């Protein structure tokens, strides 16, 4: 009788270990949950939305303009002691010429069409990307901006982000249930 109980106990421990190992592998290499903090991606994402990002595609391909990504935030007063992650949209790609002028983003001297933003969205310059100043995105770097341009701390202030700091591509919103579903990544 004790042998049967002991075997059952060992089988349960083995099953729990396998489930936990599977979860850790999925978390580390495939998918990862994130919570949106703040309104920088409004109206497309709201404060306290929960999303899932996939971590594999950017190992085989580069991010595309318009995709929504999660990346390691540059060191700031808020993130100095802990590692923070931001969710923003890919706006400029490596080696592109970017500028903000008169409320619009220009890529290689062409105004960027941003259908995912509400009509009348005004993009102001920041402490890194000054009004009318052109900057070239370095190789293997990107410019990420929030959709809520008047309420987002983004690349206009902290600059370009290296591809190695991209955590994953947002693919699914699972909370709140009213927004449940696939994330529309407006890649062009």
Cis peptide bond prior to 43, omega within 30° of 0: yes
Position 22 confidence tier, pLDDT thresholds 50, 70, 90:
confident
Residue 187 has pLDDT above 60, yes or no: no
The answer to whether 144 and 91 have CB atoms below 8 angstroms apart is yes
Domain ranges of the chain: 33-182
pLDDT confidence of residue 184: 78
- pLDDT tens for each residue of 99-152: 999 999 999 999 999 988 988 899 999 999 999 999 999 999 999 999 999 999
* Residue pLDDT, tens place only, 56-99: 888 889 999 999 999 998 876 566 556 788 999 999 999 999 99
- Measured between alpha carbons, how far is 44 from 8 in angstroms, rounded to an integer? 49
User: Residue 126, Cβ neighbours under 10 Å: how many?
Assistant: 18
The alpha-helical segments, DSSP class H, found in 30-180 are 155-158
- Which numeric CATH code is attached to 33-182? 2.10.109.10
Average pLDDT over residues 167-184: 88
For the chain, what is the mean pLDDT? 88
Residues involved in catalysis = 40, 88
CA distance 60 to 49: 28
Contacts of 77 (CB under 8 A, 6+ apart): none
């Amino acid at each position: 009788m004790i042998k049967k109980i002991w075997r059952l106990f060992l089988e349960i421990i083995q099953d729990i270990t396998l489930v936990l190992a599977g979860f850790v592998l999925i978390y580390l290499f495939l998918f990862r949950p994130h919570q949106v903090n703040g309104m920088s991606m409004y109206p497309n994402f709201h404060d306290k939305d929960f999303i899932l990002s996939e971590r594999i595609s950017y190992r085989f391909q580069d991010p595309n303009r318009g995709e929504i990504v999660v990346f390691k935030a540059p060191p700031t007063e808020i993130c100095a002691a802990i590692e923070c992650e931001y969710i923003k949209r890919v706006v400029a790609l490596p080696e592109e010429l970017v500028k903000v002028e008169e409320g619009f983003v220009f890529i290689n001297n062409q105004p960027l069409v941003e259908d995912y933003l509400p009509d009348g969205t005004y993009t102001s310059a920041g402490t890194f990307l000054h009004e009318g100043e052109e900057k070239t995105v370095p190789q293997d770097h990107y410019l990420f901006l929030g959709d809520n341009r008047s309420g987002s701390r983004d690349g206009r202030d902290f600059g370009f982000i290296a591809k190695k700091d991209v955590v994953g591509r947002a693919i699914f919103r699972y909370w709140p249930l009213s927004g449940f579903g696939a994330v529309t990544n407006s890649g062009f």
